[in-house]
Structure 1
Amino acid sequence: MKVILAGASKTGTKSIAAALTMFGYNTYDWMENMIYLHKKWMKIFDGSATNEDIRKTFDGVDALTDAPVWIYWEELHKAFPEAKIILTVRDEDAWYRSQLRQMEVENTSYVVWLFNSVFPQGLIRRPYIMHISRFYGECFTWPSSYKRPHQKKMLCSQYRGHNEYVIKKAPKDKLLVYNVSEGWEPLCEFLGIEIPDKPFPHKNKNGDIFEEWVENNKIVQKYILEGVISVIFMSAFTGYLGYKFYKSTFGKNIFIAISKGVLNAKRYFQS
C-alpha cells in the first residue's frame, strides 16, 4: 500500500483517484471497495478484522480513496504503516455545497434508487451501504433534512473535526494536507513522482459521477443489465402467479366478492 486518502468525500477524492491511476497505482475508490470488497469491509466495520486480515484484503492494491476509506483511515494505516496519507481539504462552505449537490443527485437518481432498492447486487451490499450512510445521520434517511440549518452545522462540524483529528494523529513525515486546486506539484513532490505532461484531472464536479459510471463503467453497466433482467423476470413471474390465482376457483370467488363490494359501495354513495 502506497497511499491512503484520509480526505472526506467531496474534497476532490475522485480527482485524486484519477491522478493516482494515471501514476500507475492500482487504485480502489468507492466503487471498487463496494463491488469487490464489501464483505471484507464489514469485518473492518465491526472491529473484528486484524491487521493481517486488512493486509490480505488489500493485497496488490496501491491506493485507497473515498468512503469508507477516509472514515477508517487510522485502522488502515495501522495495517499499512509504510503508506503515505493524503488529507484533501477545501473551503468548508464550498465543501458543504458540494456535499449538498451530491446528496440531491443521489436522492433523485433512478439508478441509485434501483441499485439500492431493487437490483440484487445492490440488495446484497445494502448492509455495507447503510453502515457508511449512518455516518451522515439523518441526511440519508430523510431526503430533505440535509437542507435544514442544524444539518449544515452538524455536517460541517463533522468535517472540521475529522480534518483536525487527521492532522493531529497522522505521522507528520507521512502526511500531506492538500487542496486539489494546487495541481500536480505538491502531490508529485510528496509521492516522489515526476509531474505528468497532462492537465490535472477534475472529476465529479457537479455530482455527475453516477451518469459517468452508467455511460462508461463496465461494472455498473453489468449490474444494471442484471438488475433489469431480474425485474423483468420477477414482473413476469408475478404476473403468471396473478393469472393462475385469477383462474383458480378461490381467485374467482375473491374477484366476484370484490366486484360485489365495489358495486354495493357505489350504490350506497349514490343513494
Structure 2
Amino acid sequence: MSLIHADNLPPQPWTDIFTDDTCVDRRKCHRTVPMKVLALGVGRTGTASLRQALQRLGYLNTYHMMRASVENPPDCLMWHDALLAKYDGIGQFGRKEWDQLLGDCQAVSDWPACAFAKELIEAYPNAKVILTTREVDSWHASVMKTVYWRVTDPEHRLVSHFSWAASMYYPMLNKFFETFFRGDFPNKGKQVYQDHVAEVRSLVPPERLLEYKISDGWGPLCEFLGEEVPDAPFPQGNEVANFYKRCRTRNRRQMMNAALHAVTMGSAFLAAGATVAFILRRLR
C-alpha cells in the first residue's frame, strides 16, 4: 500500500454511498475563526465528551480524531504530513499548515493533536490550554481495549487496501502510534503519558492551563473559559462497547463501498471490451 500525501488527494469514488464521509481538501482552506482552546490531553481521557461539551458552549467545530477517521478522511493526509515533519524531518508543517487543517475550528482535542502540544501552543499563543488527565493504569487499559485494538485490527488493515477512506486513516493512525508512543504502546505507553503531562505543564503558564478530569463536570471548565454553566447534563461519549460497534460497522460499510466499486469497475471493463469488439467488427 503506497503512501498518499496531502498534496495528491485521490478523488472520492462515487460508489462510496454506504458511508457519510466528506472530501474536503484542507490544503485549499485557511483560517476563518480564531483558535481559542487547545485541549491537549491524550485520547481516552474524556476527549470525546470534552469535544461535545466545548461545542455545547459554542466553540465551533471542536476538532477530534473522529473528524479525520469518520467525518473527513482526507484530513488524515495532512496529519500524516505533520507527523512526518515532526518525527522524520520530512517537509515542513507550521502555522500556515495548521491554519489549513484547523482553520474552521475554535478548539482542538484528542489525538493526533496531542502529539503537537508544543507546535500548537506556539502557533496559537492566545489560546487557552486544557489538559485532561486520568489515572494512568486505567487509561492504559482503556486504550489497549479501544484505539490500540483498532491499530492492530487485521480487518482494519485489510480494509485499508481497498477503501478510499481507510487507505488514508489506517497509515496515519499507525504512524501516530509508532512515533508518539515510541513504537511500543503496550510497554512504553504509560511512560509516554506521564512525559506528555509533564511537557504540557512545562509549556504553559498556570493562568492559561486547566488540568481537568471529565468527572469534574461543567463547573471548572466553564469558570476557566469564562462561560455560563449550561442547563444540561455534562455529555458522556465514546464508551468502550460503542467504540467496538462503531469500528466494526465502519469496516463493514467500507467493505460495501469497495465491493460496489469493484462491481462497477468490472461492469465498465466488460462494457468497454464489448464496445471495442463491436468497433473492430465494423472495421473489418
Contact 1:14–1:203, Cα closer than 8 Å, also in 2: yes
Equivalent in the alignment of 1:28: 63
Matches within 5 A, 1:180-199: 180-199=214-233
Give the TM-score normalised by structure 1. Answer: 0.71
Equivalent in the alignment of 2:3: none
**Structure 1: runs of 5+ lacking an equivalent:** 141-145, 242-271
Contact 2:151–2:173, Cα closer than 8 Å, also in 1: no
Return the match for 2:128 from 63, 74, 84: 84
Equivalent in the alignment of 2:111: 67
Closer/same/farther in 2, CA of residues 226 and 85 from structure 1, 3 Å limit: same
RMSD between superposed Cα atoms in Å: 3.1
Task: Write the distance in 2 (CA, Å) between the matches of 1:21 and 1:110.
Answer: 34
Contact 1:88–1:177, Cα closer than 8 Å, also in 2: yes
Task: Write the distance in 2 (CA, Å) between the matches of 1:6 and 1:112.
Answer: 27
Task: Write the distance in 2 (CA, Å) between the matches of 1:7 and 1:57.
Answer: 19
Number of aligned residue pairs: 224
Deviation for aligned residue 1:127: 3.5
Contact 2:68–2:169, Cα closer than 8 Å, also in 1: no
Code of the aligned partner of 1:136: F
Matches within 5 A, 1:250-265: none
Equivalent in the alignment of 1:258: none
Whichever of the two has the greater Rg, that structure is 1
Equivalent in the alignment of 1:234: 262
Deviation for aligned residue 1:79: 1.2
Return the match for 1:163 from 166, 176, 197: 197
Deviation for aligned residue 1:44: 2.4
Equivalent in the alignment of 1:58: 102
Deviation for aligned residue 1:225: 4.4
Task: Write the distance in 1 (CA, Å) between the matches of 2:258 and 2:135.
Answer: 43
Matches within 5 A, 1:1-271: 1-26=35-60, 27-34=62-69, 35-45=73-83, 46-47=85-86, 48-103=92-147, 105-106=149-150, 112-113=156-157, 115-134=159-178, 135-138=180-183, 146=186, 151=187, 154-206=188-240, 208-209=242-243, 211-212=245-246, 225=253, 227-234=255-262
Code of the aligned partner of 1:192: G
**Structure 2: runs of 5+ lacking an equivalent:** 1-34, 87-91, 270-284
Contact 1:120–1:227, Cα closer than 8 Å, also in 2: no
Give the TM-score normalised by structure 2. Answer: 0.68
Deviation for aligned residue 1:100: 2.0
Percent identity, aligned pairs only, is 27
